[in-house]
Amino acid sequence: MGYDLRKVYVSGLKGEIMQQIYNLDPYLTNERNGTYGGQAGEKEGITIDGTYWIVKYPKSTKGMRGDVLSYMTAPLSEYIGSHIYEILGIDVHQTILGIRNGKLVVACKDFCQKEGSLREIRTLKNVYNNELSKQLEESLSSTSDSHLVDLEEILLHLRYNPILSKVSGITERFWTQMLIDILINNTDRNNGNWGVLYENDAYRLAPVFDNGASFANKCTEKRLELMLSDETRIQSSIQNTATTYGLKGKPLLARDLETLKYPGLLLAEKRMIPVIQLKMQEIYDFIENIPEAYNGYLVCSQSRKQFYMKSMSKRLETFLLPALENAKQEILKKRRQNHLGL
């Protein structure tokens, strides 16, 4: 990261070295500062060793109802969620945790070679295609919640949109994101939070980015401890795990996953869920080795770590593993039908 990027190492569990917390105050803003959009909180463009980074600040919860933190833990969620994608072998933006202007922040390495090369899905959805328009008119029902992404609509765009349909691996990425987002409880994978890069006169998948809505990013320490003290509270919250998507006018919940029969989803479940199973201990070790505090700043309490790990374990058991068994059965049934010529 550079010779003057100040960091702290703390002895971790089992003698391991804990992760680094960086002092980001010395770094100056750059010419891309002010060009980063989104609604998840304030952002700042800085340069570290000649490389562009985006600093994401925690968003104030002022005006929100209920027992919530003064500031969301979205920077921590972005950091953990992004590293889980990395552990699972998915191309994702690079992130570090740091302190800047008296706040715990996450810095994300800018993966664009030049400003404006990222094309969000919501922008590319506006590209006209006659066949796509026809399919949309014939196939879609309205989704009542405007925040939700209509599942059928996005699948039609991935198949017929003149740009998206030609991006290698985009449908596979879509289904993979859905599964991992259920694991980490990311409920904001809207069409502005993933996309493609246009560089060298060609489109390709962008790394996964915007994972700050993962986990319980407004939960107080008191509420987390209360949840941990009562297993039924955790299980109840798990049962209501939402997704970003709507289907036939209704929100799509994680528990609906095993009822979906889309071929791409079934293949993704068969491919990705065993990887998640295999990597869970590595994910737990990663979370355990985040420092609890740094220079008086709370980073990630033991209660928060335990809640994140326990809730992921339960989402794996409650949603992903049943979906995997269903996928295996559906794929086997399809093969038998093809063999019999049905």
Question: What does the pLDDT average to over 104-125?
Answer: 91
Answer yes or no: are the C-beta atoms of 109 and 87 closer than 8 Å. Answer: no
Mean pLDDT in the chain? 87
* C-alpha span between 119 and 126 (Å, rounded): 12
d(CA 102, CA 36): 21
DSSP 3-state assignment of 142? coil
Q: Could you state, in order of their start, the residue ranges of all structural domains in the chain?
A: 7-340
Q: Specify the CATH number for 7-340; select among 3.40.190.170, 1.10.1070.20, 3.30.450.40, 3.20.20.70.
A: 1.10.1070.20
- CA distances to 14, 88, 285, 298, 334 from 17, rounded to whole Å, are 9, 21, 11, 19, 48
Distance CA 203, CA 205 (A): 7
Least confident of 114-118, 137-141, 164-168, 304-308: 137-141
Instruction: Identify the residue with better confidence: 234 or 277.
Output: 277
Tokens of 4: 């003057």
Distance CA 241, CA 243 (A): 7
pLDDT in tens, 37-85: 666 678 999 999 999 999 999 987 554 444 445 467 899 999 999 999 9
Range with the largest mean pLDDT of 106-115, 175-184, 190-199, 332-341: 175-184
The yes-or-no verdict on residue 108 having pLDDT over 80 is yes
Model confidence pTM above 0.85: yes
In the three-class reduction of DSSP (H, G, I as helix; E, B as strand; rest coil), residue 128 is classed as coil
**Digit-coded pLDDT (tens) for 131-166:** 888 787 777 655 444 578 999 999 999 999 999 999
3-state SS, residue 237? helix
Residue 107 φ then ψ, to 5°? -110, 130
Name the band, by pLDDT with cuts 50, 70 and 90, for residue 335.
Answer: confident
Q: How do residues 172-222 score in pLDDT, each as one tens digit?
A: 999 999 999 999 999 999 999 999 999 889 999 999 999 999 998 888 889
HEC letters along 68-120: ECCECCHHHHHHHHHHHHHHCCCCECCEEEEEECCEEEEEEECCCCCCCCEEE
Does 2 score more than 60 pLDDT?
Answer: no
Q: Give the C-alpha separation, 179 to 95, whole Å.
A: 21
pLDDT score at 61: 56
